[in-house]
């Protein structure tokens, strides 16, 4: 594992080349998991396309696509135990579903349904964080609690390159370093924070080298290589769990779609660069090429699985749309333990208004 240490620039950890051949030996267990990973990556890519279509049809609200980042998410989540704490951003739905989140529940998030904020009790996972970078502090706090309690658990925070420009990023890394907490900070560097390229956010050539300022380990990995992502995250989790302290991972990837459905990426992205990422570096194509070389996947399997995925997504969409929307007046119910008079009046006014409509 190429750990960044001063001086120098981090190398890019890669195992699976873009053409589907190996640059080095794959980590243990990959042969047994690769086909399942690919199947789930296909599921997530088609989920993402389905959610975009639903938003364009007015059946979902604002949605943040993740296509192009499936390997970074699934490879990193695969290295976590189910009882490890997960603190995602709003773009981690692929990893969250891999970790056990129901796709129908994932769709409710973009429908603005309050139920989307309640994670199933069996998942040690928080809802997607909208405030940029805030989840890094939450992960640091959870890791501190695990250390104080003597629990054999780690916390993982997932965030984009834009979050590294927030004070929360630096505060979380500094605190985690000082107290040597079992936390992994996983940055998906997808090249843009909305329309701002990463080169306009920082003078350093990489995110991973920021680890040196906090005396923690930093790893830079090819985020479209699921083997390398899994290998890097597996190392980081074991390092943190064994008392070695926090780790910062930079997964170099690319957001194929818009920042959200309210964004027009053609206004700020170079079409030639975009096409190069879409054609040559797509994480699904890379893993499929390797599987085909191993005799583990073919066109018939692709068609059959795609058809099954579409059926599952149609069923998840139906369950999402059949979930009753709450009474708008319930927005007042969970602000204070005892509702003050002003809110009681407002709630009554809303209830009376709805009764007259």
- pLDDT tens digits, the chain, 357 residues: what are they? 666 665 566 789 999 999 999 999 988 888 899 999 999 999 999 999 999 999 999 999 999 999 999 999 999 999 999 999 999 999 999 999 999 999 999 999 999 899 999 999 999 999 999 999 999 999 999 999 999 999 999 999 999 999 999 999 999 999 999 999 999 999 999 999 999 999 999 999 999 999 999 999 999 999 999 999 999 999 999 999 999 999 999 999 999 999 999 999 999 999 999 999 999 999 999 999 999 999 999 999 999 999 999 999 999 999 999 999 888 898 898 889 999 999 999 999 999 988 776
Classify each residue of 33-60 as buried b or exposed e, where b means 16 or more C-beta atoms within 10 Å of its C-beta: bbeebbbbbbbbbbbbebbbebbeeeeb
Select which of 268, 279, 293, 345 is catalytic. Answer: 268
Please check whether residue 219 is in contact with residue 236, taking contact to mean a CB–CB distance below 8 angstroms: yes
Active site residue 255: yes
Q: Which domains does the chain have, with CATH numbers?
A: 3-326 (3.40.50.970), 327-357 (no CATH)
Helix (H) or strand (E) holding 220: strand 217-222
Classify each residue of 331-357 as buried b or exposed e, where b means 16 or more C-beta atoms within 10 Å of its C-beta: ebeeeeeeeeeeeeeebeeeeeeeeee
Give the sign of the dihedral formed by CA 293, CA 299, CA 301, CA 302.
positive
CA dist 173 and 247 (Å) reads 9
Select which of 45, 99, 234, 255 is catalytic. Answer: 255
Q: For position 9, what pLDDT does the model report?
A: 67
Active site residue 268: yes
Q: Write out pLDDT tens, residues 173-222.
A: 999 999 999 999 999 999 999 999 999 999 999 999 999 999 999 999 99
Q: For position 8, what pLDDT does the model report?
A: 67
Residues 6 or more apart whose CB falls under 8 angstroms from that of 306 comprise: 42, 46
Give the pairing type, strands 247-252 and 217-222.
parallel
The distance in angstroms from the start CA to the end CA of the chain is: 64
Ordered DSSP codes for 62-97: -----TT-HHHHHHHHTTS-TTSEEE-BTT-HHHHH
CA dist 27 and 47 (Å) reads 28
CA dist 290 and 35 (Å) reads 10
Active site residue 192: no
| pTM > 0.75 | yes
Select which of 259, 269, 286, 288 is catalytic. Answer: 259
Q: What are phi and psi of 122, to 5 degrees?
A: -75, -10
């Amino acid at each position: 594992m190429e750990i960044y240490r001063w001086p120098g620039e981090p190398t890019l950890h890669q195992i699976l080349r873009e053409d589907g051949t190996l640059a080095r030996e794959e980590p243990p267990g990959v042969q047994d998991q690769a086909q399942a990973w690919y199947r789930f990556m296909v599921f997530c890519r088609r989920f993402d396309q389905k959610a975009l279509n639903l938003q364009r049809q007015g059946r979902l609200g604002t949605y943040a696509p993740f296509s192009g980042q499936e390997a970074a998410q699934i490879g990193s989540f695969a290295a976590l135990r189910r009882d490890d704490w997960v603190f995602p951003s709003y773009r981690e739905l692929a990893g969250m579903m891999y970790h056990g989140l129901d796709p129908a529940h994932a769709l409710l998030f973009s429908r603005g349904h309050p139920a989307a904020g309640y994670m199933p009790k069996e998942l040690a996972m928080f809802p997607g964080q909208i405030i940029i970078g805030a989840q890094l502090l939450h992960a640091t706090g959870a890791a501190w609690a695990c250390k104080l309690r003597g629990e054999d658990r780690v916390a993982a925070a997932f965030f984009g390159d834009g979050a590294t420009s927030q004070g929360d990023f630096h505060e979380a890394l500094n605190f985690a370093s000082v107290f040597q907490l079992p936390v992994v900070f996983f940055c998906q560097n997808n090249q843009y924070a909305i329309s701002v390229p990463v080169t306009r956010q920082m003078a350093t050539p990489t995110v991973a080298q920021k680890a040196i300022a906090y005396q923690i380990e930093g790893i830079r990995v090819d985020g479209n290589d699921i083997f390398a992502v899994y290998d890097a995250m597996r190392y980081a989790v074991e390092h943190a769990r064994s008392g070695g302290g926090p780790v910062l991972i930079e997964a170099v990837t690319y957001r194929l779609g818009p920042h959200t459905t309210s964004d027009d990426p053609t206004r700020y992205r170079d079409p030639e660069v975009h096409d190069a990422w879409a054609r040559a570096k797509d994480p699904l194509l890379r893993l499929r090429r390797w599987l085909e070389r191993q005799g583990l996947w073919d066109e018939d399997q692709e068609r059959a699985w795609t058809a099954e995925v579409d059926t599952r997504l149609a069923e998840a969409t139906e369950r999402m749309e059949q979930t009753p929307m709450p009474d708008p007046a319930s927005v007042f119910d969970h602000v204070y333990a005892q509702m003050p008079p002003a809110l009681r009046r407002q709630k009554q006014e809303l209830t009376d208004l709805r009764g007259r409509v």
